[in-house]
Structure 1
Amino acid sequence: MRRKVPSNAALMAFEAAARHGSFARAAEELSLTEGAISRQIGRLEEFLGVTLFQRVGNRVRLAPSGARYALQVREILDRLERDSLYLMGQPVDGASIEIAALPTFASRWLIPRLKRYKDRQPHITVHIAERMEPFVLAGSGFDAAIHFEHPAWAGMHRHLLLEEILVPVCSPALLDTAPGTALDGLPLLHRRQNPDAWQDYAQAAGIALANPAVGPRYDLHGMLIEAALAGLGVALVPRLYIEAELRQGRLLAPWPDGNTISKQFCLVLPEPIALSAPPLQSFASWLLEEAQAAMP
């Protein structure tokens, strides 16, 4: 069945005219005449059976239906342009994979190790985008996801990577201003998506905290780490993100780990590794090796 889709020329003329609110300015942008823009939009209106512009004398104004359609067309054209530029930028003799990952995991654990994968597979490009919440992998444009173990991934093929063990850390300067290493009384830093983390940690560790919910909140673990480094308070963050800072003494962890409130990172694939495309097979196998090597 033939698709009922308007011509690209008509859509581009309409989107430019809608954005500028002027046929003349749309014609200037697209290197056409104003009459050509008017004819393209007329054909589009005829094709749709809908009036997109209200014409008053020599002036035009988007009709309500035209305003809604303009937003949809602009989004589609933008996406088509991005996808086209992406394909144009692909190496002729190479391959690429698209990975969705938790942002702090990507920046603090995955990306620092990617050079080892690049050395092994120089012709495979790994594109990484952040995704905070689980999503439907099929049809998303991603080849795989690196996320927490979650019921939303049911039906997908999951491979456990690492355990997220939370540990309280702070800068040495913060402890210099406080007597001993008593956690209660120190400013606590919170992750917005896990507001009960300090209360859960205190109960599991047997530490009394008078006000476990008090303190500034941040969206990402990466923000919490930077706040702790700046001396703003004690952050409850995954140990695997701060190994370098602990070795360098830039952060201290004199309190017990929160082993009982840990979560699992996993690699999520739409099909078994053995049935995946060769570039994804290669990346998945390498990632599992790296995770195994990083385990204590």
Structure 2
Amino acid sequence: MRRKIPSNTALLAFEAAARHGSFARAADELSLTEGAISRQIGRLEQFLGVALFQRVGNRVRLAPSGARYAVQVREILERLERDSLYLMGQPIDGASIDIAALPTFASRWLIPRLKRFKNLHPHITVHIAERMEPFVLAGSGFDAAIHFEHPAWTGMHCHPLLEEILVPVCSPALLATSAGMSLDALPLLHRRQNPDAWQDYAQAAGIGLANPAVGPRYDLHAMLIEAALAGLGVALVPRLYIEAELRQGRLVAPWPDGHTISKRFCLVLPEPVALSAAALQAFAQWLLEEARASRP
């Protein structure tokens, strides 16, 4: 059965006219005459059986139905253009994979290691997008996800990677101003998504904190790390994100790790590694080996 879809020319003319609120400006943008824009929109209205514009003399304005349709058409055209540009940018003789990852894990652990994968597989392009929350992998446009273990991944194939062991860290200069190494004498920095982290850590470590909820809050671990480097307070962050800063002495961690409040990162695949497409299979095997090599 033939699809009931308007012509691309008519949709482009309508979207431009709706965005500008003017047939003349739409004509300038599309390098057409104003009459051509008017005819295309007239054909679209005839095709739909709905008036998209209200015409008053020489002036036009969107009808309520036209305003709603303009939003939908604009989203579809933008998505079509985005997907087309994505395909145009693919290597002719290579492959590409799309990975969803937690943002700080991607920037602090994964991306610094990707050069090694590129050296092994120069024909594979890895695209990375951030996703803070678990999601349905099927139909998402992603080939795999790197996230925490979560019930949302039920039915998927989850491969353990690394433990997110939290450790309190601060700048050496801040520690020098405190009375010994007492956490209670230092400002605490919080991650907004985990407001009870300091309280849970203090109970597990047997450390007394007068008010573990006081202090500024940040969205990402990356922000917490930068705040700690700036001397704003003590941040409770995953040790695997700050290995370089600890080696360089830019951050210090004189307090015990929070092993009891740790979580596990995992690689989520829609099917077993052995059945995955060749590019995804190569990336998954490399990632699992990198994770094994990084474990203490």
The match for 1:189 is: 189
Query: Scaled by the length of structure 1, what TM-score is found?
Result: 0.98
Q: Verify: 1:45 aligned to 2:45, yes or no.
A: yes
CA contact (8 A) 2:179 2:185 kept: no
Q: CA deviation at 1:185?
A: 2.2
The match for 1:57 is: 57
CA deviation profile, 1:118-153 (whole Å, cap 9, x unmatched)? 000001000000000111111111100001101011
Q: Verify: 1:223 aligned to 2:223, yes or no.
A: yes
Question: Aligned AA for 1:37?
Answer: I
Q: Verify: 1:6 aligned to 2:9, yes or no.
A: no
Aligned length: 296
C-alpha distance in 1 between matches for 2:269 and 2:11: 37
Q: Verify: 1:281 aligned to 2:281, yes or no.
A: yes
C-alpha distance in 2 between matches for 1:90 and 1:255: 48
Question: Aligned AA for 1:294?
Answer: S
Q: CA deviation at 1:3?
A: 2.1
Q: Secondary structure at the match of 2:138?
A: coil
Q: Which runs of no fewer than 5 residues in structure 1 stay unpaired?
A: none
Question: Aligned AA for 2:124?
Answer: I
The match for 1:161 is: 161
CA deviation profile, 1:257-279 (whole Å, cap 9, x unmatched)? 11011111010111111111100
1:139-218, aligned counterparts within 5 Å?
139-218=139-218
Q: CA deviation at 1:174?
A: 0.4
Q: Secondary structure at the match of 1:184?
A: helix
Q: CA deviation at 1:200?
A: 0.6
RMSD: 0.8
C-alpha distance in 2 between matches for 1:100 and 1:2: 37
C-alpha distance in 2 between matches for 1:141 and 1:292: 28
Q: Which runs of no fewer than 5 residues in structure 2 stay unpaired?
A: none
CA deviation profile, 1:158-204 (whole Å, cap 9, x unmatched)? 11100100000000010111110000121000000001100111111
Q: Verify: 1:94 aligned to 2:94, yes or no.
A: yes
Q: CA deviation at 1:49?
A: 2.0
**Runs of at least 4 residues of structure 1 off by over 6 A?**
none
Q: Secondary structure at the match of 2:184?
A: coil
Q: Percent identity?
A: 88
C-alpha distance in 2 between matches for 1:125 and 1:6: 36
C-alpha distance in 2 between matches for 1:50 and 1:211: 63
C-alpha distance in 1 between matches for 2:79 and 2:202: 47
C-alpha distance in 2 between matches for 1:179 and 1:144: 48
Query: Scaled by the length of structure 2, what TM-score is found?
Result: 0.98
